[in-house]
C-alpha cells in the first residue's frame, strides 16, 4: 500500500513540533502559551566574546550566539532569542534583538570609547577599603554615574578586620561624610562576618551590582552570600598593595532573598560617561540642591562674588573634599 504524501503545511507542523521538543518549556512557548513560537525574552547572566549565557524565566541557562547588529550588550540585558538547528540537527540559540533598557551603567574606556558595565539595575554597591591608601575620588566618580542612571547607591567599606587605629579613624570620617549627604554606609568583614546580614537585607528584592577597585573583596562578599557558588577569590599583591583581577566578566547571581547581584570585574580606575557639567552636578547631590542660587548664572564657584557654594563650604554644609572632586571632574570633562 502506497504511503500517503504529507502536505507542506503538515511537514512544517511536524518539523516545528520536533524542533520545540529540544527547547525548555519557557523557550518553546510564547506569552499566549502556543507551542508554535520559538522566540523568548531571556536575561544575560554573563557575556563571553561572541557568546552569552542567558537564563529563562524559570532560571534555566542556555548558551546563545549573538547577531552582529545587536551592538554592545552586557550583563543584565534582556534579549530576544531564537532557536534553530545546527549542522548536526542540535538546538542552537541565537540572540536576535536587544530589548529596551531602563538604565545602563557605562564607563569611559580607552580613547574615550564607552563600555557597558551592566544594564537594568536598581542599586550600585560601591565596595571600598582604605588599604593600602584612602582615596575617595573613585567613590565620587561611581556616585556621579549612579545618580545619572538613575539608581540607588550604597557604600560598603570592606575588610574591617585588617584596619589599624589610623585606618579606623579614617573610616569614621568617610562614613560620616557620605551618611551626612544621605547615602547609606555598611562596614563589612567576611572574616568576622561583620555587616553581612545587613548587606543581605539591603540586597533583598533588588538587582544590584558590586563595583570597585580590584582587591577590595567584591567576589569574597558574593561567595559569603552564596557559599554554594563556585566563585574565584583572589589575593592582594604584597608588592603593590593592589588587587588582582579574579572576576574577568560581569556575572549575575540569584540570592536566596529574591535579590539579584552582579559581580563586576575589578578596575584600576573608573571614569563615568559625563556628557555635560549638568550631569556632573547631578552626581553631587549636596551641590545640586543649590544650583542656580549664585549671584551670577555662569558662576564657576571659584572666586566669584555671591557664590552660594563657597558660602556653604565655609559653613561646612558642603565638604571641601567633595567639592574638590567636583572641580576635578569638571576639568576632566
Tens of pLDDT along 60-116?
999 999 988 888 899 999 999 998 887 888 888 999 999 999 999 999 887 788 999
Asked if 82 contacts 96 with a C-beta cutoff of 8 angstroms, the reply is yes
* Most confident among 83-87, 175-179, 295-299 (mean pLDDT): 175-179
Q: What is the DSSP string of 143-172?
A: HHHHHTTT-EEEEEE--GGG--HHHHHHHH
Report how far residue 87's alpha carbon sits from residue 273's, in angstroms, rounded to the nearest whole number.
Answer: 43
Whether 277-332 and 10-98 are alike in CATH topology: the answer is no
Report how far residue 151's alpha carbon sits from residue 120's, in angstroms, rounded to the nearest whole number.
Answer: 10
The set of cell numbers assigned to 152 is 540607588
Report how far residue 205's alpha carbon sits from residue 193's, in angstroms, rounded to the nearest whole number.
Answer: 22
Residue showing cell 557664590: 307
**Cα 72 off chain centre by:** 15
The set of cell numbers assigned to 167 is 585606618
Cis link prior to 132 (omega < 30° from 0)? yes
Report how far residue 154's alpha carbon sits from residue 204's, in angstroms, rounded to the nearest whole number.
Answer: 13
CB atoms within 10 A of CB 266: 24
Per-residue model confidence (pLDDT) at position 30: 40
Question: Which range has the worst mean pLDDT, 2-11, 97-106, 113-122?
Answer: 2-11
Helix (H) or strand (E) segment spanning residue 193 = none
Per-residue model confidence (pLDDT) at position 182: 96
Per-residue model confidence (pLDDT) at position 6: 55
Per-residue model confidence (pLDDT) at position 174: 95
Per-residue model confidence (pLDDT) at position 278: 93
Report how far residue 271's alpha carbon sits from residue 141's, in angstroms, rounded to the nearest whole number.
Answer: 7
Higher-confidence residue of 143 and 231: namely 143
3-state secondary structure at position 283: helix
Helix (H) or strand (E) segment spanning residue 123 = strand 123-128
Average of per-residue pLDDT across 52-63:
93
Q: Which residues of 195-208 are buried (b: 16+ CB within 10 A; e: fewer)?
A: bbeebbebbeebbb
**Cα 71 off chain centre by:** 18
Per-residue model confidence (pLDDT) at position 8: 57
Q: From residue 135, how far is each of 83, 126, 155 by CA, in Å?
A: 49, 13, 14
CATH number of 10-98: 2.40.50.140
Average of per-residue pLDDT across 214-220:
90
- CATH of region 277-332, choose from 1.10.40.50, 3.40.50.1820, 3.30.2130.30, 3.90.930.60: 1.10.40.50
Per-residue model confidence (pLDDT) at position 197: 96
Average of per-residue pLDDT across 179-204:
96
Question: Which range has the worst mean pLDDT, 41-50, 141-150, 234-243, 278-287?
Answer: 234-243
Higher-confidence residue of 189 and 249: namely 189
Question: Domain residue spans in the chain?
Answer: 10-98, 117-263, 277-332
Question: Which range has the worst mean pLDDT, 157-171, 228-242, 248-262?
Answer: 228-242
CATH number of 117-263: 3.40.50.300
Q: Is 155 left (phi over 0), alpha (psi -120 to 50) or beta?
A: beta
Higher-confidence residue of 312 and 13: namely 312
- Average pLDDT, rounded, for the chain: 84
Kindly tell me if the per-residue pLDDT of 243 is higher than 60: no
Rounded to 5°, the CA angle 40-261-116 comes to 70
Beta bridge partners of 51: 48, 65
Per-residue model confidence (pLDDT) at position 80: 95
Q: Which long-range contacts (CB under 8 A, 24 or more apart) does 227-231 make?
A: 229/253, 231/263
Higher-confidence residue of 239 and 301: namely 301
Against a cut of 0.85, is the pTM above it?
no
Among 211, 195, 200, 203, smallest CA distance to 260 is for: 203
Per-residue model confidence (pLDDT) at position 90: 82
Kindly tell me if the per-residue pLDDT of 187 is higher than 60: yes
Non-local (6+) Cβ contacts of 161 within 8 A are: 189, 191, 192, 194
Report how far residue 330's alpha carbon sits from residue 332's, in angstroms, rounded to the nearest whole number.
Answer: 5
Task: Indicate the DSSP class of residue 185.
Answer: E
CB atoms within 10 A of CB 86: 9
Per-residue model confidence (pLDDT) at position 5: 57
Kindly tell me if the per-residue pLDDT of 146 is higher than 60: yes
Task: Identify the band that residue 21 occupies on the pLDDT scale cut at 50, 70 and 90.
Answer: very low
Higher-confidence residue of 34 and 211: namely 211
Beta bridge partners of 245: none
Per-residue model confidence (pLDDT) at position 231: 62
Report how far residue 82's alpha carbon sits from residue 26's, in angstroms, rounded to the nearest whole number.
Answer: 12
Report how far residue 84's alpha carbon sits from residue 89's, in angstroms, rounded to the nearest whole number.
Answer: 9
Per-residue model confidence (pLDDT) at position 257: 92
Average of per-residue pLDDT across 140-165:
95
Asked if 165 contacts 221 with a C-beta cutoff of 8 angstroms, the reply is no
Amino acid at each position: 500500500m502506497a504511503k500517503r504524501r504529507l502536505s507542506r503545511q503538515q511537514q512544517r507542523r511536524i518539523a516545528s513540533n520536533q524542533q520545540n521538543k529540544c527547547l525548555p518549556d519557557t523557550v518553546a512557548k510564547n506569552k499566549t502559551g502556543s507551542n508554535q513560537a520559538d522566540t523568548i525574552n531571556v536575561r544575560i547572566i554573563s557575556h563571553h566574546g561572541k557568546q552569552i549565557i542567558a537564563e529563562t524565566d524559570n532560571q534555566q541557562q542556555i548558551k546563545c550566539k549573538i547577531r552582529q547588529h545587536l551592538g554592545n550588550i552586557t550583563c543584565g540585558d534582556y534579549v530576544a532569542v531564537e532557536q534553530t538547528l545546527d549542522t548536526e540537527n542540535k538546538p542552537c540559540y541565537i540572540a536576535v534583538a536587544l530589548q529596551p533598557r531602563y538604565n545602563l551603567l557605562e564607563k569611559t574606556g580607552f580613547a574615550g570609547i564607552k563600555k557597558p558595565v551592566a544594564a537594568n539595575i536598581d542599586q550600585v554597591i560601591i565596595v571600598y577599603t582604605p588599604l593600602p591608601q584612602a582615596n575617595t575620588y573613585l567613590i565620587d566618580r561611581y556616585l556621579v554615574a549612579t545618580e545619572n542612571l538613575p539608581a540607588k547607591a550604597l557604600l560598603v567599606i570592606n575588610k574591617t578586620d585588617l584596619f589599624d587605629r589610623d585606618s579606623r579613624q579614617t573610616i569614621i570620617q568617610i562614613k560620616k561624610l557620605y551618611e551626612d549627604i544621605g547615602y547609606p554606609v555598611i562596614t563589612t568583614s567576611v572574616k568576622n562576618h561583620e555587616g553581612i546580614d545587613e548587606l543581605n537585607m539591603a540586597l533583598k528584592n533588588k538587582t544590584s551590582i558590586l563595583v570597585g577597585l580590584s582587591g577590595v573583596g567584591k567576589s569574597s562578599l558574593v561567595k559569603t552570600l552564596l557559599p554554594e557558588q563556585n566563585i574565584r577569590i583572589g589575593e592582594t599583591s604584597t608588592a603593590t598593595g593592589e588587587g588582582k583581577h579574579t572576576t574577568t566578566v560581569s556575572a549575575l547571581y540569584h540570592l536566596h532573598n529574591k535579590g539579584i547581584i552582579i559581580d563586576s570585574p575589578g578596575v584600576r580606575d573608573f571614569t563615568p560617561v559625563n556628557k555635560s557639567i549638568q550631569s556632573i552636578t547631578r552626581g553631587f547631590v549636596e551641590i545640586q540642591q543649590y544650583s542656580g542660587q549664585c549671584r551670577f548664572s555662569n558662576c564657576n564657584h571659584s572666586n566669584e562674588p555671591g557664590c552660594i557654594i563657597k558660602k556653604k563650604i565655609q559653613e561646612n554644609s558642603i565638604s571641601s573634599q567633595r567639592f574638590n572632586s567636583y572641580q576635578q571632574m569638571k576639568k576632566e570633562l
